[in-house]
Amino acid sequence: MTNERLAALAASFRKQALENVMPFWLRHSIDEEHGGYWTSLERDGTRYGDGNKFIVVQTRSIYSMCIAYRLSGQKEYLDQAAQGVRFFRQHFRDAENGGWVSATTQSGQHVDSSKRPYGLAFAVYGLGEYARLAKDAEALQDAVDTYELIMKRCWDTEFGGLYNELSADWKVTDDTKRVDTHMHTMEGVSALLAATGEDRYLQTLDLLANTILGSIGKDGCFDAVNGCIHERFRRNWQEALDLTEGLINYGHITEAGWFISIVGAYTGSERLSSLSRQLIEYALRYGWDEKRGGIYDRGTPEGRVVRTEKVWWPQAEMLGALSFLYRQTGEERYLNLLEKQAAFIDRELLDHEYGEWYPLVSADGKVLREQKGSPWKACYHVVQGLYQAYRNLEFARGALREAEAPRRWEDFCL
């Protein structure tokens, strides 16, 4: 019965991705006139805004089209990833200073030439994933070159960690450090490890994981007293309380736990596996809605929920985290929670009329925001969570092969 249960749940995730989510983006986000992807979309897919394009949306969309191709085998998705790669490589490239700009007009003129490691991480992720699927050596070289620029230009050699923002010519303009920048950089590095098999990328994954966790509460984002991670820091890793109000983000805690648990499982690191599971358990203990499912937005490190609205992307991260923990442990509790999370998403987040997920709902399920596309919301979180949950359950039921030692990173990668 368990195998049938796993098969049905896995199939529901795949079906949602391919029937409810990605068709929305195929219909509405492709810029047929200039190439790339449209940024701002209303609930029904109607376009609004000035058409400016942002590195995060463009590269997340490339990645998402690749994942949809992995799930479906439909060439249209790979073709739409390819045209996104062409637009990005032609128009976002900073030919003078290296790397990629942060934003362009709809047709591709530069409007923001600053460099943000957060955005550059997705350039590595999208180009790396596309290169692996399409066997595109030029895209792979661009991904590798971008990774090397991140580690050379954006890494703080004194205190460790990635700066928040640099100028077009790579001068540091904001030396604060954000936990999410380091997590998303892990995704890009994961894609390069899968594409090349080079050990240096596994070493960087370990570096980033341990940067987030710190040395048991020192020089990192991890709060060893409360068992969570904090959000933003000064250069010397003192928390930037004026920017965070001292609040923690349940979604980032879940995301960090999920990403680091994958590295821990692959490498056999007891420390990474233990602390990452502790992070996910923290989010479940304090941020999980026991009655309706879903996780809340923010709270205090000590465990008091402050913002009870439910943002779309942490719900997707929880799909990945719970499915991976179930795959690794076989514990029934994680499967039960995953089913409850899936039911919550179907009932309160998924737009059954137009497709895709609403970006924000209240604790009791009222839709608070309807726009499906924005400079921060593309298809990435949703299709990633659905794909990873599908894949983890397929591994758990034996439909996919768990590689013998030495393990294949492809069976783990983000």
Task: List the CATH number of the domain containing 34.
Answer: 1.50.10.10
Residue 401 in this model has a pLDDT that exceeds 80: no
Q: What is the pLDDT of residues 349-399, one digit of tens each?
A: 999 999 999 999 999 999 999 999 999 999 999 999 999 999 999 999 988
User: Domain range holding 146?
Assistant: 2-411
Residue 47 in this model has a pLDDT that exceeds 60: yes
pLDDT of residue 279: 98
pLDDT of residue 214: 86
Which of the four pLDDT bands, split at 50, 70 and 90, describes residue 168?
very high
Which of the four pLDDT bands, split at 50, 70 and 90, describes residue 55?
very high
Quote the mean pLDDT of the chain: 96
Contact 357, 16 (CB under 8 A): no
Rounded CA-CA distance 209/189 in Å is: 12
Residue count (the chain): 414
pLDDT of residue 219: 58
Among 135, 17, 11, residue whose Cα is nearest residue 78: 135
User: If DSSP codes are grouped into helix, strand and coil, which group holds residue 116?
Assistant: coil
pLDDT of residue 157: 95
Number of domains in the chain: 1
Percent of the chain with pLDDT over 90: 94
pLDDT of residue 334: 98
Verdict on whether the full-model pTM lies above 0.95: yes
Q: Given phi > 0 = left and psi -120 to 50 = alpha, else beta, which region is 320?
A: alpha
pLDDT of residue 217: 44
Contact 409, 194 (CB under 8 A): yes
Percent of the chain with pLDDT over 70: 97
Give mean pLDDT, residues 393-414.
82
